[in-house]
Amino acid sequence: MSLQRTAAIVLPLIIAFLFSPAAHAADPKPIPDKLIVLTFDDANASDYHTVALILKQHGFNATFYVTSGWVGSEKRLTWDDVRKLHELGFEIGNHSVTHPNFLDRSEDQFRAEVTGFDQACIQHGILKATSFGYPGSHFDRRMVRVLNELGYTTARRGSDPEAQWSDDGGIGIAYEPGLDDPFLVPGAFTRGSGFADSQGLLDAINMANNGKISVLIYHGVPDLFPHCSTSVERFKADMQMLKDQGCTVISMRDLSSYVDLTKRPRDIYAPIINRLGGFAVNPETNAKRNPSFSWTFASRKTNHSQVAYQILVASSKQKLERDEGDLWDTGKVNSVESKNIAYRGKRLEKNNDYWWKVRLWNQPDQKELDRVSKWIAAELISTMRKSLPGPYSQPVKLELN
């Protein structure tokens, strides 16, 4: 291998290490409530000419995921703009060279697009990126492995597969450090034509609590494409809401101040699969000597219904948090019933406190899965076609009358 080619491969990796937040991070700071990561996709000209000024006025940081092959095109950033964003202190993230659906590409093609972006940045005086944004939110295990090998520390996806897939915006899920892999950070909210009011953003802000972090995804302000466009007025209102709500607004790079990015789950898909049951459950108790249990639920996906449940009742909250139903464990019960499920466990004493929780199994929407099968990794689609349990509800104290 020639010296020039060796340098072209090794130099970006050395730079990535030297400037990687994870390489120099001290002990992470406590994660405050309403910690927001702000991101922008695709290298829209508005990133520098509109967005940057508004962010600076509020003291916000952000990550701009740039598609390097689009730089210099009509209504896109120029390399001078990208460099100025970098000099202003914003993070420049890798959004590939050509923005393809990488599920249809080989691992070598993915690697070439990542390193091609890196080389373009270095040529224009911009530090090698440490964060990647999956174009179209299309990801799989191969991509995660390559990014790790190339010295990246984080990667952002969208809200799917846990939430309903849509290209015009939507509500997703909060990032849970220590649970979610740092190369599969989910989006909590994507601004688009389908979500043009303030409620979605407010919901995302409220997700950021108890150690969870909400990642927001924007495109152009405005964008070339109406489905993912945000008006200047809407954007200003959004940023004012973040300010009024007391949010701490950071870039993906800044996560290293709050999160140990070297800690990863044994199976990177496990947190995703655990959520695919998709139900948010609100338990209710009829507290009498022989109590009954009810719940309401909502799904992140359309046309999903309950097909089974499991109730745990424990003698302490600690046991319940370990998923030990020492007083009653129904096991999986195939049923659509969600009201007045009679207790049939061990005897309960009136003066004692008990705890319970419930989880549900879903009935997948096969038509919806067929629709999105080209956009989600085949391994995950295969899993989603099964009836899956969602996470347990929060523990509820059972006080007998």
- The domains of the chain are located at 3-269, 276-399
Element (H, E) at 133: strand 131-133
Note the pLDDT of residue 16.
Answer: 46
Res. 8 pLDDT band, cuts 50 70 90: very low
Query: How much is the CA Rg of the chain, to the nearest whole Å?
Result: 23
- Rounded Cα distance, 376 and 300, in Å: 16
CATH 2.60.40.10 fits 276-399, yes or no: yes
Report the predicted TM-score, pTM, of the whole model to 2 decimal places.
Answer: 0.87
- Rounded Cα distance, 305 and 317, in Å: 29
3-class secondary structure, 356: strand
Average pLDDT over residues 120-142: 97
- Rounded Cα distance, 104 and 233, in Å: 38
Residue 188 one-letter amino acid: A
Average pLDDT over residues 216-232: 96
For residue 110, what are the CA distances in angstroms to 10, 34, 96, 127, 283? 18, 34, 8, 20, 45
Tokens at 191, concatenated: 């601004």
Q: Where are the beta strands (DSSP E) in 242-318?
A: 248-250, 279-286, 292-299, 305-314
Percent over 70 (pLDDT), the chain: 92
Tell me the average pLDDT of the chain. 91
Has residue 126 got a pLDDT over 60? Answer: yes
User: Does residue 24 or residue 94 have the better pLDDT?
Assistant: 94
Tokens at 77, concatenated: 């950033």
User: Does residue 174 or residue 301 have the better pLDDT?
Assistant: 174
Average pLDDT over residues 167-171: 87
Alpha carbon of residue 129 to chain centroid = 20
Has residue 19 got a pLDDT over 70? Answer: no
Has residue 4 got a pLDDT over 70? Answer: no
Average pLDDT over residues 25-51: 94
Indicate the CATH number of 3-269 among 3.20.20.370, 3.30.2270.10, 3.40.50.300, 3.90.1150.10. 3.20.20.370
Has residue 305 got a pLDDT over 50? Answer: yes
pLDDT tens-digit series, residues 269-287: 999 998 887 688 889 877 6
Note the pLDDT of residue 63.
Answer: 98
Element (H, E) at 399: strand 396-399
Note the pLDDT of residue 284.
Answer: 87
Note the pLDDT of residue 351.
Answer: 80
Res. 386 pLDDT band, cuts 50 70 90: very high
CA angle 34, 201, 136 (to 5 degrees): 105
Note the pLDDT of residue 287.
Answer: 63
Note the pLDDT of residue 349.
Answer: 87
Average pLDDT over residues 30-57: 98
Average pLDDT over residues 47-58: 98
Q: Which of 30-34, 35-39, 298-302, 393-397 has the lowest mean pLDDT?
A: 298-302
